[in-house]
Amino acid sequence: MYADVLAVRKLAGLIDPADISDAEITEGILYSDSFVELETGHIGYTPDDPIYPTIKQASAYIASSWCRDHYRDNESQSDKHYNKGKDLCKTIRDSSPESLFVVSQPYKTYPLNPKGIMHRSLPGSGGDTTLQPTGQHPDDFFF
């Protein structure tokens, strides 16, 4: 666990253990740890990581939000703590080369991929307009 029960209890407003037990806070921390890993794009931070203190803090804020959300929260501190934890995760994600997300797909059109399928869009057709390769070069179709 990244956050610790006492730190979360303090952030949550020193909620009495009779109201929210340590086991319930631990459940909130497990939730917040998975949230932090999902938001940062990295699983398994260790104390050796230079950003570990920030990871602990982000997890504690998210867990505090979880606890306050399950208790009474007249001042909307739950939302503030959630946003603070999420902002910390965003900062980590944006500044960490380990959590870079790259999304791509193979190039599928003809000029750069002779084996690719040519697509044609017809306004209002509503159907599949995929052209099957004929084996002929597209330039052969023009006069």
pLDDT in tens, 92-120: 888 876 545 555 566 555 566 666 655 55
SS3 131: strand
Name the pTM for this structure.
Answer: 0.65
Closest CA to 6 of 24, 22, 23: 22
Q: Average pLDDT, stretch 55-83?
A: 88
pLDDT in tens, 1-29: 899 999 999 998 888 888 889 999 999 99
Structure tokens at 37: 């890993």
